[in-house]
Amino acid sequence: RPGYLYIGWNQKTPFFADRRVRLAMTHLVDREMIIEHLMGGLGRIVTGPFYILGKQYDSTIEPWPYDPERAKELLDEAGWRDTDGDGIRDKDGVTFKFNFMIVSGYVVVEQLAKLLKDEMAKVGIDLRPDPYEWSVFEERLNTRSFDATMLAFGGEVLYDPYQTWHSSQIAGRGSNRIGFANAEADAIIEEARRTLDESVRNELYRRFHRILHQEQPYTFLRARPSMRFLDKRFKNVKIHKLGLDPTEWYVPKEKQRYK
């Protein structure tokens, strides 16, 4: 179903303004292992914000792999090195210690934060899990008072990315909470809103998807599975991309329990 789980990197902090650092973060997240061992194998890795079964989604994009060695190279290139020998990378007097804001009370979320902390430590980064109950979490999210965060997005079948991704939505109550600003992305989003031809509009969104893949403002984790439990007595059940249509279901007379 539409929607995804993601890690957002706040580009207004000194840590995640550089694309190379954000890409390094994604290379440190073993998404296949997370889905298999923390989420019961339920879900698929996604690379962008669009519905994975929809025409807006660019299915030709390959997810960035789990690759700690490449992550270390990218961090070095971006100038984050351990210059004082304390085991933590630093740059321009700033030590790479950041808070990872999560919603408290969810075992899987806490396990994932612990896993990420361990992965980051291996390459000289100090990730500090920062849990809050939902009302405080939401307030800090809206005031951009975080370094990085993890959240789920409900998603839509036909998704307009303006509110979440256009640079005009960084300030105030807009949903561009990680401060993503890209002139080409803005232009594509605006053009798509003016485009009536669906095929042309979908190609614009796929172009936008490719920009996000290169910029990595989010590390997209997985698309949420849609689970259905049906009694075998039901016949003519058809499952579509958008869900179930029960209007033509029926139960054979000999199997009916309720009259």
Spans of all domains in the chain: 4-230
pLDDT one-digit tens code per residue, 178-205? 999 999 999 999 999 999 999 999 999 9
pLDDT at 175 over 60: yes
At 82 the pLDDT is: 98
pLDDT band at 71 (very low <50, low <70, confident <90, very high): very high
Q: Name 126's bridge partners.
A: 97
Q: Which amino acid is at 151?
A: L
At 61 the pLDDT is: 98
Q: What is the mean pLDDT of residues 236-250?
A: 65
What is 4-230's CATH number?
3.10.105.10
At 240 the pLDDT is: 54
pLDDT one-digit tens code per residue, 19-30? 999 999 999 999
pLDDT at 242 over 60: no
At 1 the pLDDT is: 52
Q: Whose CA is closest to 157, among 48, 45, 52, 6?
A: 52
pLDDT one-digit tens code per residue, 89-99? 999 999 999 99
pLDDT at 241 over 60: no
pLDDT at 245 over 60: yes
pTM: 0.86
pLDDT one-digit tens code per residue, 205-234? 999 999 999 999 999 998 766 556 566 776
For residues 177 and 13, is the Cβ–Cβ distance under 8 A?
no
The neighbour count for residue 49, using CB atoms within 10 Å, is: 24
pLDDT at 69 over 70: yes
At 4 the pLDDT is: 85
At 227 the pLDDT is: 54
